[in-house]
Structure 1
Amino acid sequence: MSYSDPYSSVDPRRARHPGVAPEDYDPGFPANLDVPGWAGPTQPGFQQQPEPDPDPRHEPEVNGYTADTTQLPVVAPRDDDRRRGEPRPDADRRRARSDDEPSDPPQRRRGPGKRRAGPGRPPTSQKPSRAGRNLPAAIGVGVTLGGVLVASLYLYKPAFLGVLALAVAIGIWEVSRATREVRAHPPTIPLIAGGILMVGLAWYAGADALLLGLVATLLAAAVWRLADGTKGFKLDMTVSTLIAVYVPFLAGFAALLAVPEDGADRVLVVLIAVVLSDTGGYAAGVFFGRHPMAPTISPKKSWEGFGGSVVAAAVGSALTCYFLLNIDFWWGAVFGVAISVAAVLGDLGESMLKRDLGVKDMSRLLPGHGGLMDRLDSILFAVPTAYLLLSIFAPVR
């Protein structure tokens, strides 16, 4: 096949090989001589194209009209607007890696599970338990606290007084701290000192000394508070009275229970009844709870759970009272019912106090429980009830 130009007078058969113009070939129009062996376009009217304007805002004339874009800003291309096939730095780094260097392990595909947060997509919240607590942590903390109490009771009884005084001090601190949500400032130092004094008086001097310790604590708190002026004095003293009665005064009955010779057994019977009431209420509420008991105070408590608390405490107390304190089964069952009712009322009372203060827990001291007062709420109402009933069923001789 030979080169043929219909507008040329040169014989096309003079070409030496296809695609190459003859030596004396004259096409009659300018040809691109920079490229060897190419004679330019074969169509007539060819004109040299103008050099492209480096400014992208200047557009060439199209169909007789010129676009005026000189006022538009110049926008630099983004990194993600790369043309397909353009080399990327990460690809260059991969090519430059030596053959003996191990490559990055492939990413694992995420399976079903907790969804990660992203733009417009909140993280999947973990479904809480129906009891509203971390059950393994609650069990571990409860077993630890119970072990400390039992060891102090049976190994060295005066150590129980130290554990009780420490619990009273922490409880006073937690409640005082929580009441600051309502702009109350009870004097914490005299309340803690008076609370420890009340427990010590109950241990060494009896119930009358416990009452005198309460009066002395309130007087000390009033004198301490007067140093800060009269503004808010009524609110602070009201809160101080609540704290002094709620925490150290009620806890003093635990000291009264532990003083007799069989005091360790008396305290243990009360603790077992409270634990059984809490456990029975939890189990019955989770499996059978349908009717809320006090939805405005504690939405998770149900009448079915309350029934489970009463039954568990009654059965357990009938056995423990019989074998530890030599009380008949029926009176032991009555004791368990009374302790269960008192424990539930104590739990509801603290829940009502926390709702009024606007806090979820008294503190975050105990994992799975919240604060120490979130565990003492049931016991504080149970020990005065137990002290009254045991003074009738099993009086100290």
Structure 2
Amino acid sequence: MPAAAEGAGPPAAGRWRDLRKRVASAALLLPAALLCIWLGAEAWTALVAAAVAVLAWEWVRLCGFSTRRLPGMAVPLAVLGAGTLAVADAYAAALLVLLAGFGLAWMLAEAPRARRAAPTFWLGFGVLYIGLAGLALIHLRGDAGAGRANVLFLFVVVWASDIGAYLAGRVLGGPKLAPAISPNKTWAGAGGGLLSAVAAGAAAAYVMAPGPSGRVVLVAAFLGLLTQAGDLFESWIKRRFHVKDSSSLIPGHGGLLDRLDGVLAAAPAASLLSLLLGPGVLLWR
């Protein structure tokens, strides 16, 4: 039997071995997220608070610390404290809490008795990485006029980017995108993810607010690119910490950091765009 060609992808069965777990996990997670988005800012904020708590726990574990004691405890305390201020519409104070938490976690991690193998900077970085995304998601949904539509648009684009990249990468294979960071990602997957993000974003925009919008393609493409950048960054982080997944919390996906890496990158940009456009304005208008 001839040997497989050099550079060929995995056997067809192997390409899809994780698909069943991915579908099962998505069938549980997506309806919960959509329901909270639809119900309103209060339900959405509760979901975001639960998510950032888990994300902080996973991040602290990656850095070799525990959330049960300092310095690891500083990460969830800072991100949840900032989120509480955001709910009260005190975003300037929330940002100051994140900056203070970043500095405190980094400083405490530098203590000789607290040192771990990972550079101590990364423990503090988790406060900003997770906290800014949490504030962004609260800010987006808190807009009474356009919050629901803007959050739905963001998540449709992120989910479409992930799904399109997965399917195109598995079906088409081809040259690797960044083999030193993530050996399984291909240029075909990146292209498929970008096209899917744009198509899904345009469809979602048309369904939620029919009418001409020349900006929707640019906004969806920008958020789609950030989603893929967030995915690559998370892969780089895991390689730096020598782990395959951030945790084993979600079957087929690893941890919540693995599942929300694109959201962590795209949400702050969407929130900033919403801030620039003003209250009640759709991201793509």
Report the TM-score when normalising by structure 2: 0.83
Q: Output the CA distance in 1 between the equivalents of 2:243 and 2:262.
A: 18
Letter in 1 for 2:180: T
Structure 1, unaligned runs of 5 or more? 1-125
- Stretch deviating more after TM superposition (149-158 or 320-329): 320-329
Letter in 2 for 1:337: A
> Is residue 2:13 matched to residue 1:150?
no
Letter in 1 for 2:37: L
Q: Output the CA distance in 1 between the equivalents of 2:114 and 2:177.
A: 40
* CA-CA distance at 1:163 after TM superposition: 1.1
> Is residue 2:9 matched to residue 1:129?
no
- Work out whether residues 59 and 123 of structure 2, in 8 Å CA contact, stay in contact via their aligned partners in 1: no
Letter in 2 for 1:246: Y
Equivalent residue number for residue 273 of structure 1: 157
Equivalent residue number for residue 380 of structure 1: 264
Equivalent residue number for residue 84 of structure 1: none
- Work out whether residues 202 and 253 of structure 1, in 8 Å CA contact, stay in contact via their aligned partners in 2: no
Q: Structure 1 residues 304 and 223, CA, compared in 2 at 3 Å: closer, same or farther?
A: closer
Q: Output the CA distance in 2 between the equivalents of 1:143 and 1:318.
A: 24
Q: Structure 1 residues 153 and 191, CA, compared in 2 at 3 Å: closer, same or farther?
A: same
* CA-CA distance at 1:353 after TM superposition: 0.6
Q: Output the CA distance in 1 between the equivalents of 2:186 and 2:52.
A: 30
Q: Output the CA distance in 1 between the equivalents of 2:232 and 2:32.
A: 26
Q: Structure 1 residues 327 and 321, CA, compared in 2 at 3 Å: closer, same or farther?
A: farther
Q: Decide which of 338, 343, 364 is 2:222's aligned counterpart.
A: 338
- Work out whether residues 198 and 249 of structure 1, in 8 Å CA contact, stay in contact via their aligned partners in 2: no
> Is residue 2:115 matched to residue 1:253?
no
Q: Structure 1 residues 140 and 176, CA, compared in 2 at 3 Å: closer, same or farther?
A: same
* CA-CA distance at 1:225 after TM superposition: 5.4
* CA-CA distance at 1:255 after TM superposition: 0.8
Structure with the greater alpha carbon radius of gyration? 1
| Identity among equivalent pairs (%) | 29
Report the TM-score when normalising by structure 1: 0.61
Q: How does 1:93-112 map to 2 (within 5 A)?
A: none
* CA-CA distance at 1:234 after TM superposition: 11
Post-superposition Cα deviations, 1:77-111, rounded to whole Å, max 9, x if no partner, equal xxxxxxxxxxxxxxxxxxxxxxxxxxxxxxxxxxx
Which structure features the higher share of helix residues? 2
Q: Output the CA distance in 2 between the equivalents of 1:361 and 1:250.
A: 20
Q: Output the CA distance in 2 between the equivalents of 1:243 and 1:335.
A: 27
- Work out whether residues 273 and 313 of structure 1, in 8 Å CA contact, stay in contact via their aligned partners in 2: yes
* CA-CA distance at 1:248 after TM superposition: 1.7
Q: Output the CA distance in 1 between the equivalents of 2:191 and 2:218.
A: 14
Q: Decide which of 157, 162, 172 is 1:288's aligned counterpart.
A: 172
> Is residue 2:186 matched to residue 1:302?
yes
Q: Output the CA distance in 1 between the equivalents of 2:181 and 2:81.
A: 33
- Work out whether residues 322 and 332 of structure 1, in 8 Å CA contact, stay in contact via their aligned partners in 2: no
CA RMSD of aligned residues (A): 2.7
- Work out whether residues 362 and 371 of structure 1, in 8 Å CA contact, stay in contact via their aligned partners in 2: yes
Equivalent residue number for residue 363 of structure 1: 247
SS in 2 for 1:373: helix
- Stretch deviating more after TM superposition (263-272 or 234-243): 234-243
- Work out whether residues 156 and 201 of structure 2, in 8 Å CA contact, stay in contact via their aligned partners in 1: yes
Post-superposition Cα deviations, 1:279-328, rounded to whole Å, max 9, x if no partner, equal 11112111222011001111111111111111111111112223325674
* CA-CA distance at 1:272 after TM superposition: 0.5
Equivalent residue number for residue 88 of structure 1: none
Q: How does 1:187-226 map to 2 (within 5 A)?
A: 187-218=71-102, 220-221=104-105
Q: Decide which of 40, 45, 67 is 1:161's aligned counterpart.
A: 45
Q: Output the CA distance in 2 between the equivalents of 1:215 and 1:157.
A: 25
Equivalent residue number for residue 138 of structure 1: 22
* CA-CA distance at 1:231 after TM superposition: 6.4
- Work out whether residues 230 and 261 of structure 2, in 8 Å CA contact, stay in contact via their aligned partners in 1: yes
Post-superposition Cα deviations, 1:110-132, rounded to whole Å, max 9, x if no partner, equal xxxxxxxxxxxxxxxx986326x
- Work out whether residues 291 and 303 of structure 1, in 8 Å CA contact, stay in contact via their aligned partners in 2: yes
Structure 1 runs of 4+ with >6 Å offset = 233-236
Equivalent residue number for residue 60 of structure 2: 176
More relative contact order, 1 or 2 (CA 8 Å, 6+ apart): 2
SS in 2 for 1:249: helix
Structure 2, unaligned runs of 5 or more? 1-10, 281-285
